Amino acid sequence: MDSLRFCNPKTIKEDNAIELLIDIVLLSFLVCIAFAIVRMKDLFAVIMLAGMYGLLSASFFVTMDAVDVAFTEASVGAGISTLLMLTTISMTGRYENTTRHRPMLALVVVFVTGSLLIYGTLDMPYFGSAQAPIQLHVAPHYINNSMSEIGIPNIVTSALASYRGFDTFGEVVVIFTAGVAVWALLMVNVQRRKNTEIDDANNSTHEQHFIVRFVAKMLIPFILLFALYVQFHGDYGPGGGFQAGVIFAAAIILYSMVFGLNTARRVISQPIVQLLTAAGVLLYGSVGIVSLLSGGNFLDYNVLSADPIAGQHLGILLIELGVGCTVASVMILIYFNFSGRKNDRELEEHKETT
């Protein structure tokens, strides 16, 4: 066991004192924010804190060398999730009740579980140890052989799209299913209302914010371009379909926030977004089927081209495209449905009062 405990405090002090300090400070901030979230009753403040929590954990992932993960967490945790929660509380109310469900019993359960878990950590190999079991099994194969087997520098992309392509296919299907479920739950009949009625309401609120509209118009092309860069440069640097999809969706969501949902629906029609949601999953699946038909295993890209490395490149490009397509359109679909539901209810309330 002791041989696993690789780092001794001497090396900590000399080599990575700064890294360790940043690590401890970031993690302590996370704990402070988590306790603040427990204490606060105002859900608006809680959601803002949750956004900060997302951004801080993204910074933490950067210090842990997980650049791809940090990228995703920054766009999801600090961006999209904050936005969806804000839209939700605008419909469900801003303050939570002060009553707690058996707080003492909950505290006891939490303390007992927590102590057992901490007791469990005492046997773990120390943080950063190169001899820990996790570092000795599959990872060395990926690190040593991915360049000759897959031929792209970003090992995370090699593992995500090729070695563990089947896993990723499952994840994409889960995202697709969640998107369809949200759509089924919140679907409003878009045709039911005359567009002019909603446009009037939108124009009155959106015309006031000239600076916001101007800045958004300037930024959106660059955000879209950046999303495409992340999509197609994912083989060589941090990035790939998941991050690109979320960033692309963020640009469209920004547009529909600033210019109104109906204007956005005129630019990007919802039926096309729904079609793209399924198209991404189908593209991913068909790459698998094609490799089956060409005599390989499911999602074995070596057979896609005469040269195995070229086949891997082609396969990864296609499935990343499928992932990007599905993720972006599911995020857009989710936002459209949340925001459409909100508009619909506001209109109904407006009608009831007049």
Site for other proteins in 212-241 (CB under 8 A): 236-238, 240
DSSP annotation of 125: P
> CA angle, corner 271, sides to 267 and 272, nearest 5?
65
DSSP annotation of 162: I
Structure tokens at 33: 């924010």
Q: Which is nearer to other proteins, 199 or 346 (CB)?
A: 346
Phi, psi of 27 (to 5 degrees): -65, -35
DSSP annotation of 122: T
Task: Confirm or reject binding of residue 82 to other proteins (CB under 8 A).
Answer: no
Taking residues 254 to 293 in sequence order and writing x for each that binds other proteins by CB under 8 A, - otherwise, the string is ----------------------------------------
The window from 146-154, 207-215, 268-276, 312-320 that contacts other proteins (CB under 8 A) reads 146-154
Task: Confirm or reject binding of residue 320 to other proteins (CB under 8 A).
Answer: no
Give me the least distance between CB of 198 and other proteins, in Å please: 19
Site for other proteins in 171-200 (CB under 8 A): 171, 174-175, 178-179, 181-182, 185-186
Phi, psi of 95 (to 5 degrees): -110, 145
Site for other proteins in 10-49 (CB under 8 A): 10-12, 15-16, 20, 23-24, 27-28, 30-31, 34-35, 37-38, 43, 46-47
Q: Which is nearer to other proteins, 206 or 341 (CB)?
A: 341
Give me the least distance between CB of 157 and other proteins, in Å please: 9
Q: Which is nearer to other proteins, 79 or 214 (CB)?
A: 79
> Binding residue for other proteins (CB under 8 A) from 97, 205, 208, 354?
97
Give me the least distance between CB of 278 and other proteins, in Å please: 15
> Binding residue for other proteins (CB under 8 A) from 66, 216, 223, 268?
66
Rounded CA gap, 35 and 31, in Å? 6
The owner of tokens 């009625």 is 197
Task: Confirm or reject binding of residue 8 to other proteins (CB under 8 A).
Answer: yes
Task: Confirm or reject binding of residue 242 to other proteins (CB under 8 A).
Answer: yes
> CA angle, corner 314, sides to 308 and 317, nearest 5?
140
> Binding residue for other proteins (CB under 8 A) from 250, 325, 330, 332?
330
Residue 95, classed as helix, strand or coil, is: strand
> Binding residue for other proteins (CB under 8 A) from 25, 45, 143, 267?
143
Task: Confirm or reject binding of residue 91 to other proteins (CB under 8 A).
Answer: yes
The window from 81-89, 214-222, 295-303, 314-322 that contacts other proteins (CB under 8 A) reads 81-89
Q: Which is nearer to other proteins, 245 or 311 (CB)?
A: 245
Neighbouring-strand partners of residue 42: 95
> Binding residue for other proteins (CB under 8 A) from 78, 227, 231, 245?
245
The sign of the CA dihedral 132, 136, 138, 143 is positive
Rounded CA gap, 36 and 27, in Å? 14
- Among residues 239, 267, 265, 280, the alpha carbon closest in space to that of 335 is found at 265
Per-residue buried b or exposed e for 282-319, using 16+ beta carbons within 10 Å of the residue's own CB: ebbbebbebbeeeebeebbbbbbeeebbebbbebbbbb
Dihedral in degrees, nearest 10, Cα atoms 30, 36, 38, 44: -110
